[in-house]
Amino acid sequence: MTEEYVANTPNHEAQLTAYRESIDNIDASLVFMLAERFKITKAVGFYKKEHDLPPADPGREKAQIERLRCLAKSANLDPEFSEKFLQFVIREVIQHHERIREKGEL
């Protein structure tokens, strides 16, 4: 049997479909979790504006990055990747907080 034939047998297609369905479900969960996170950080942005607090908190950001790097290690996820992902999210949140501070809206 050739590799091409084996890769296209129904069992392989069924297994790939099952993997892909799980990946799709995880992706959907990630989107909903990020939406919830940004809903909360939006409220934080308005709180910071109301109390004249700065949009960024470098101490908190550093602590969060370190905490997530440790979690990533324990989950067998590349800590570098987790740090890059969190830094991307943090930059987006800070931009939201700056817009809220300047314009009073997001």
Domain layout of the chain by residue ranges: 3-103
Number of neighbours of residue 16 by Cβ within 10 angstroms? 11
pTM: 0.80
pLDDT of residue 1: 44
pLDDT of residue 4: 54
Structure tokens at 7: 């890769």
Q: What is 3-103's CATH number, 1.20.59.10, 3.90.78.10, 3.40.50.1950, 2.60.120.10?
A: 1.20.59.10
pLDDT of residue 32: 98
User: Digits of tens for pLDDT over the chain (106 positions)?
Assistant: 455 555 566 688 889 999 999 999 999 999 999 999 999 999 999 999 999 999 999 999 999 999 999 999 999 999 999 999 999 999 999 999 999 999 988 7
> Three-state SS for 75?
coil
